[in-house]
Amino acid sequence: MATTLVLVTLAGWINRQQQDVVVYIQEENRILKNKLKRKRIRFTDDERRRLAVKG
């Protein structure tokens, strides 16, 4: 019972940390896109492949 509580607590903490990283990266992307103004971001084939693998 105590082990289950520890695991659930740990899993919740890890999930929250991961979510914080995602939110940070999303905001960082918004800022960087805003700095580019209206310029279109063009990815190379290799960059598109890398993003597809991560996606």
For position 39, what pLDDT does the model report?
82
pLDDT tens-digit series, residues 13-53: 999 999 999 999 999 999 998 998 878 888 999 999 999 99
For position 12, what pLDDT does the model report?
94
Average of pLDDT values for 10-15?
94
Number of domains in the chain: 1
For position 25, what pLDDT does the model report?
96
Q: How far apart are CA 17 and CA 25, in angstroms?
A: 13
Q: Whole-prediction pTM value?
A: 0.67
**Domain of 17, in residue numbers:** 2-54
For position 37, what pLDDT does the model report?
86
